[in-house]
């Protein structure tokens, strides 16, 4: 029960952060946004219609798609995120009268950072705010295109189609804001604490494994492989470490076997003993 309550709290915080970023940094500069929120922005600029209400109304067909093609659980998460984000947009609308910055580039950067963190919290909690994310997921389901690519393409189409209404500079600043927001959102989803997974092929696996466990206090797994040319069976060391430990593990390994072979890869999110727990 506590975990469920905390999830909803995080989603609400994410919606408030993203909405506040829009009202503080994007709207005062007449910036646009990707997705259906971008269409709501245009309706606000042209007819002064409430962004939150318009965002929800535009998402009604999207909610049907979520239910029809992705089931009740996805539909519930979509309608939850859509309602909370739409309400947050109108609740924080008063903030657009008090812009803290007047430089467009700074607004694009700061707005992108804060909105990216907000959406990252939402998506990390297995929720979404409807819009083109659902459309992109449907296109992936039907045609196997990459979701991230489809979201970007759809966002670009919405922004480019509105360029004739606004200054070209607005579109450029909007793309900058979107890019920064996307990077921060991905960071929030994947986790800021990037880890490294390392495979070590060596003639002295036991000695190196002992050194890693003693010196770095990291668990080690032996994988069993065979050389394609020599046909010799050997133990392959597999270990996951922090970024700061990379140079140390290389030093330890090469002190024991200067001919050791390394494969170092990014591990975007690691959970379990010795790392974070979710």
Q: What is the pLDDT of residues 9-29, one digit of tens each?
A: 999 999 999 999 999 999 999
> What are the pLDDT digits (tens) for 161-201?
777 778 889 999 999 999 999 888 878 876 666 688 999 99
Residue 217 pLDDT = 85
pTM of the predicted model as reported, rounded to 2 decimal places: 0.77
CA distance 157 to 31: 15
Of 88, 91, 114, 87, nearest to 26 by C-alpha is 114
**pLDDT at 37 (0 to 100):** 93
Task: Write out residues in the chain with pLDDT < 50, as ranges.
Answer: none
**What confidence score (pLDDT) does residue 273 get?**
64
Domains and CATH numbers, the chain: 2-190 (no CATH), 195-267 (3.30.70.120)
Given this model, what pLDDT does residue 148 score?
61
């Amino acid at each position: 029960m506590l975990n469920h309550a905390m999830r909803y709290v995080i989603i609400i915080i994410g919606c408030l952060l993203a909405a506040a970023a829009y009202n503080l940094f994007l709207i005062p500069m007449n910036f646009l946004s990707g997705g259906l929120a971008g269409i709501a922005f245009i309706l606000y600029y042209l007819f002064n219609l409430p962004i939150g209400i318009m965002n929800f109304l535009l998402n009604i067909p999207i909610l049907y798609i979520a239910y029809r093609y992705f089931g009740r659980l996805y539909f519930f998460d979509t309608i939850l995120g859509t309602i909370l984000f739409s309400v947050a947009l109108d609740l924080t609308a008063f903030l657009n009268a008090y812009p803290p910055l007047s430089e467009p580039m700074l607004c694009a950067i700061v707005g992108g950072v804060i909105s990216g963190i907000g959406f990252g919290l939402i998506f990390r909690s297995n929720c979404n705010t409807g819009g083109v994310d659902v459309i992109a997921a449907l296109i992936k389901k039907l045609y196997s295109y990459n979701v991230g690519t489809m979201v970007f393409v759809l966002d670009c189409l919405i922004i480019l189609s509105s360029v004739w209404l606004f200054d070209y500079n607005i579109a450029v600043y909007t793309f900058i804001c979107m890019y920064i927001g996307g990077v921060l959102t991905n960071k929030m989803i994947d986790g800021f604490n990037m880890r490294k997974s390392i495979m070590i092929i060596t003639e002295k696996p036991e000695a190196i494994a002992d050194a890693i466990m003693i010196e770095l206090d990291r668990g080690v797994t032996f994988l069993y492989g065979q050389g394609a040319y020599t046909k010799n069976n050997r133990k392959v060391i597999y270990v996951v470490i922090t970024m700061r430990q990379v140079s140390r593990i290389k030093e330890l390994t090469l002190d024991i076997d200067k001919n050791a072979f390394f494969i170092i890869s990014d591990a975007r999110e690691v959970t379990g003993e010795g790392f974070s727990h979710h």
